[in-house]
Structure 1
Amino acid sequence: MGYEWFISLRYLRARRKQTFISVISFISVTGVTLGVAALILVLAIMTGFHDGVRQQILGNVPHVTVQSQGGTVSDWPQLVATIQSTSSSVVSAEPYVVKEAMLLAHGNVAAANLKGVSSDNRVLSQEFFTEDNQPINSVLFNATRTQPGIVIAADTAALLGVSLGDRINVIPPDFTLTPFGLIPKIKPFDVVGIARTRGGFLDTYYAYISLEQAQHFIGEVDKVSGIEVEVARFDDAQPLAEALRADLGYPYSIRSWQEMFGSFLAALKLEKLGLFIVLGIIVLVAAFNIATTLIMVVMEKHKDIAILRSMGATSRSILKIFVFEGLLIGTSGTALGTGLGLTLALNADAMISWLERKLHVTIFDKTVYGMDHFPSQVESADVIAVVVVAMAICLVATVYPALRAARLDPAESLRYE
């Protein structure tokens, strides 16, 4: 260990007459610790909320949608094969038929996007209430039923006042021309499934029937409205959309989920950046405490600095002594803050649940946010960014006191001693 490190450690241990400096050092370490911990915790919570909201948005929204500008797709089996061969990230490519419709039951009316889906559609992987807890595929695609089945959202069921087994009438915006005028098409459906949880604003307006029923009732036989593509990772959607545009060209219209809802998620990222900057000011304030501590040490140790210079220590060595002392304070605070922040972030849900039980209050209402747990997700990139920024701020805070100590004139410091 060089003598600069030895002297830096020695200056951090206060003597009886220098206790105040030691207290200021402790406050500086505590300030950096709390600032770093707050940054890591808040960034983890914002990341968790971002991913939670993204999961809600993509609950019933495909990662990539392929449609035809002509309205319907006739050669959809060939199109599905082309999509699946475009990229290895494609998990599934399912056809669908969709059209706006009115749902009527018990004198109540609700608007919905009536959607015909295949049995492998990802939307059917969520949990539904069904009679005798049967699998949703077995009741929705049961060809022996006298009336076709329909699956609706929990909000739609509450609005219509229906439950499992009830019958609702579906009226699409299509009319039949008869000698008596235009008569709307009406078809009864039996409610065979209801979503277990109340979904977001997108889930509420969808009702699902089998693809075959939709083709006969609201579409055209052997034609679909488009293809819904699911990819392995959310971030794979945009590259796949660009590749499909290059391969398919006109008249196909291809959109990824980023193009449909990217602006909303970008707002969440901007909010996360804003919180990072605001909370970074806490670390900056703690860094001012470090600078104050070092200035006081320089004022207290001016005789020691003069003696060291007289014994042959260079200005560079004096500079190192006080830079090392500031870095020791900053490193200690950053390390403690990182440990505290990670502990809080990784156990946020358990701590919130414990506080709710002890205080008998609701801190995080799961029904409001549509999440089954308090969101907190630690990303290594965020932790590294916080550590680097904190250490950089602490290093900058040491520059002025260290330069002042290095420029002290030994003769002036010892003239009146």
Structure 2
Amino acid sequence: MRRPLLLGLASILLVTGVTPPAVASAPPQPDTAGRVAIWSGSLRGLNGTSPDTTVRNIARASVDATSLRIRIGNPYGDRALVLRAASAGLQARVGEADLVAGTLRVLTFHGRRSITLDPGESTYSDPIALRVRAQQNLAISLYAPGAPINDQVFPPPAPNPPASFLSLAGDHTGEPGDTAYPEANVGQNTSPGYHPGQFWWSDVVDARSAANGTIVALGDSNTSGHAATGGGDRWTDLLARELNERSPGRQLAVANAGISGNTVSRQTNPYDPTGQCCGPPAVDRLPRDVFSVAGAEYVILLEGTNDLGGGQAAPPAPASQVIAALREVVDRSHARGLKVIGATLMPMCNAAGSFRETNRLAVNEFIRTSRIFDGLIDFDAAVRDPADPKVFRPAFKSDCYHPNAAGHAAMAAAINTNLFR
């Protein structure tokens, strides 16, 4: 049976009977000179109300950095988000909520410890004096009881981030220990405990770094990391590790802007007509998830599978629709001075000669030959089964749409890092 890029776990917090989220405009952009986005996790929609709990989001830095700022957002909110307290620190151990001793920093916003964000608003924290190493995990603790939950949820590359811990009742942002943060894996909901692949409100960390810019990976669940289990590393994480091997002045940060179930073209989302599950189409989230990201110089574009696959809420799209959206992403990114690397769409278990497979092949031919891109990553060639190119190699397959950890490693190995100066 064909499986969409958004699985059931990602809809546990889904709000029913609501209209699709408005497309969030780009957040106000403070001075970003000399700054890069060392982590990002695109928010997907509005999904319920926060209980009286503190969320401790876990993010992984892609490069060495200091002077960190956290972006907090209410892009899809239907009412104000009142952030009463916030802090950040370094996670002591993977899978645990406690912090490295002495690293907890109170977050302020224009000098204040609390801030109110109206619907559609976002803001950056004031910079904090905290140094983080490449591949080190950050813990971002936020207390906003009763606030609209702007979130990201997907089956994750557990036990690695992104993830979160939800505390017992109350404000626990000032606590470096884990007493108030149960660590049992409770899945994806609003119960106290560990929540792999789930985080609220924070979507970008930028910083001062010797890295010479940011690569933004714009995609769907095959970028956000659905099913990258076993090794716990997504292809974007593995790319960041390889770029860390460069001398500091040639390093690049990597920001993951993948959302499970996302489409590249403007259409009703195939899996959720309310639009809450899967974010706005890529063409409409460019301002927030790409153009406003500090240091952005490159975009890796891996989108179109959900358009072509269709679902209960929308039929499969033709290649022409996807190609038009890819062109728009490239044109608008070029207008901003960004370089766009096109990535081919991987197998979907479509029958040979079917509408879906014919259109997937047509989109891939466009990506390989149109010359509108500044470079090519042929993910399709890297993971398809030579004996049956409609499917993944057995060693790389999680399901018909998703590679496993070995598949993510093969994707990373297919990237020629000389594409990035």
Higher helix share: 1
Larger CA Rg, structure 1 vs 2: 1
The two structures have a TM-score, normalised by structure 1, of: 0.21
Question: Larger strand proportion, structure 1 or 2?
Answer: 2
Q: Which has the higher contact order (CA 8 A, sep 6+)?
A: 1
